[in-house]
Structure 1
């Protein structure tokens, strides 16, 4: 878990979306919110299945499997390939193989969604505390953010294996609020999936949803976020 010292800023709410009025911290999901990482995840899953002697999945299938962290992604891929639940030993091996393949090329095909960098830069300049809360393994977060030149905007980085629980559990969000000394009522969760919305609601955060990410084929509106944004740039007035 990476954290940098908090700096005191005044927040210029007139330059922000009204939903951010009185807010001091914004937590962002990563995959499906800031970056489209499925192409690289799908390539790593396909290589993993091939190495295990199983039929390879496609990018379309992987888009419905992501969102709960790497172990669940691998479990879903193996279950699909086997048409049955994988044995624990195979699941463990599959996870190890996947981590090698994904670690070798985590940003070859991954792209930044439009408007992300300008929005993060503007929010940071306005004085808001930005944190990243993802279910992706922690080891991949900093290299990806550095690759897209986003790392300096974030005060705290929390991965799926950073704490005892991950989204949809509220613990990572509450941990971020506590560490940044900001009450949940002054915090926002921005994400693309039902797990982000559930974690945000349980933590007492305002929930903002994006419709273009990965939500297991479900419309994000069914998760009842406080607001749906078509683009992150809508956070700026």
Structure 2
């Protein structure tokens, strides 16, 4: 792939490659019932908390119980992880093709690395990702450019050779601030219109749309 102008693909995990939406929503519901029982959150209300690091989300709700809320969330999330997580349609096949074509691949997530790797193993994607950047490996989470920059450094890639793929503003902004191309996925719970407002370079309607985008860029 060294003769290709785009040779590196960075992926968010939750909501992009893996359908963790139900797990995340139930984890927030469980946490808020325990720590904020006087407040009722609809599922639409919970969307605002999806994407940022847990500490940032819970800081807005009950800062005096921040650590306890993170612990409650992660305990429920890990206990129910395998029953509620699966790859989105076409993800495994597309990632396998990218791997076979020699693209350099990495995960850039706001989850801690061990939880990211748990999801990759569950879905058989772990063999394709030599680089995983989790929340516990950076000082500044997405939308800061640091996680994207660190992934590029470990892969030996330059920003102009890379695409950051994600389902949320944090992914698109992190890629843009690191000077990569960006791709938004239309199956984001935030909605396609939300992503279009961020002006990514492409909107993917199916995961294999990424293959078409790369073919066009590498002509």
Matches within 5 A, 1:158-197: 158-197=133-172
- Structure 2 residue 51 is matched with structure 1 residue 90: no
- Please point out which of 27, 34, 50 is paired with 1:51: 34
Q: Deviations over 1:78-117 (max 9, x none)?
A: x3xxxxxx2x332222112212211222232223211101
Aligned to 1:67: 51
TM-score, normalised to structure 2's length?
0.87
Uncovered stretches (5+) of structure 1, i.e. residues with no partner: 1-9, 14-20, 80-85
- Give the direction of change, closer, same or farther, for the CA distance of 1:46–1:217 in structure 2 (3 Å limit): farther
- Please point out which of 186, 197, 200 is paired with 1:222: 197
TM-score, normalised to structure 1's length?
0.81
- Structure 2 residue 36 is matched with structure 1 residue 36: no
Uncovered stretches (5+) of structure 2, i.e. residues with no partner: 213-219
Tell me which protein shows more helix as a share of its residues. Answer: 2
- Structure 2 residue 114 is matched with structure 1 residue 114: no
- Please point out which of 24, 34, 55 is paired with 2:7: 24
How many aligned positions are there? 211
In 2, Cα distance between equivalents of 1:89 and 1:74: 10
In 1, Cα distance between equivalents of 2:135 and 2:189: 16
